[in-house]
Amino acid sequence: MIPSALPEPDVFTADSGEPALRWGIVGPGWIAGEFADALGAHTAQRVVAVASRSLDRAERFAAERGIETALGSVDALLARSEVDVVYIATPQSDHAPTALAAIAAGKHVLVEKPFTVTAAEARAVADAARAAGVFAMEAMWSRYLPQASVLRTLLADGALGEVRSVLADHGQAIAFGPDHRLFRPELGGGALLDLGIYAVQFASMVLGSPDRVTARGWMTESGVDASGSLVLEHGAAQAVLHTTIAARTPTTASIAGTEGTIDFAGPFYNPTTFTISAAAHGSPVLHWQDPTPLRGFAALAWEATALARFVGEGRTESPLHTLDETISILETVDTARAQIAAG
């Protein structure tokens, strides 16, 4: 039954007892800059070192953000005793080897999405982290946004009844360039791993692992998936997902159940708003607005504080986005990519 009032989000408020971890960043690109800025402005966490194969690049990144140490190799960062956790923001083809090296050095890891290029790589990283007793988590920031907390409560309370349909879409118009990482298969390029992963994880959060995956799409001349449409079957429910690097799409999402529907405004994977209404035609609509002050990429702070809280609790993985689920999501992506490549 649709509630008369929506629940308050359970958010990862900074300075709420979590340890102030010391972070090292590997791969000082655009998203790493957004992440470091969010940590500095909105968390109790501190970036103490940054590493790149280009020392000049690391030094510029560090100077812009007041980071103490800039290094010209991953090994040099991993040797620093003051680094507690490593945020990995390299091209996804480097995620698994860098994460494995960090784990072997006894560091906790936060790995940008996609966690790895394949489910087999993700399983290897998860196994290594569990054996070493260190924390490992995919940086799927959407799971830690206030809207995700509200959604989890609504689903747990059965507000929508039996979920029958999940729709999600993520497309961006990326101009082709032979050197662009998204058009290079050796770097883990393509729409599904970089953009579609958001839609797949959304469906997974609501419905779990699918019983069957059917995917159709088309490939670029460089050999990556440019566009894909997926149908995920979950018994009596289906998830219909779409992703593309050939066009900008609405990036909206919805969940429909026997008792009601939730519609997320685009981009659904960012801090956003949603509406919820009962299944009966003409039912009143409730609007949810994020009550917190963090907007845009400032909201990357939520996942960093979540990681610190989980580490402080003695956990070795996120209860909101487990390693097993991360592997399952990549199994879905593996299957979809293979079907699209096969035509």
Instruction: Look at the alpha carbons of 138, 102, 336, 185 in this order and tell me if their dihedral is positive or negative.
Output: positive
Q: What is the bridge-based pairing of β-strands 253-257 and 285-288?
A: unpaired
Alpha carbon distances (Å) from 31 to 28, 63, 111:
8, 17, 12
Distance, in Å, from the CA atom of 180 to the CA atom of 183, rounded to the nearest integer, reads 6
User: Is 107 a known active-site residue?
Assistant: no
- Number of neighbouring beta carbons within 10 Å of residue 218: 12
Distance, in Å, from the CA atom of 118 to the CA atom of 193, rounded to the nearest integer, reads 9
Catalytic residue among 95, 108, 113, 242: 113
Instruction: Identify the CA nearest to 252 among candidates 222, 218, 232, 275.
Output: 275
Residue 212 in contact with residue 221, Cβ under 8 Å? no
Chain length of the chain = 343
- Number of neighbouring beta carbons within 10 Å of residue 11: 19
Tokens matching residue 264: 């997320």
Helix (H) or strand (E) holding 306: helix 300-312
Q: Catalytic residue positions?
A: 113
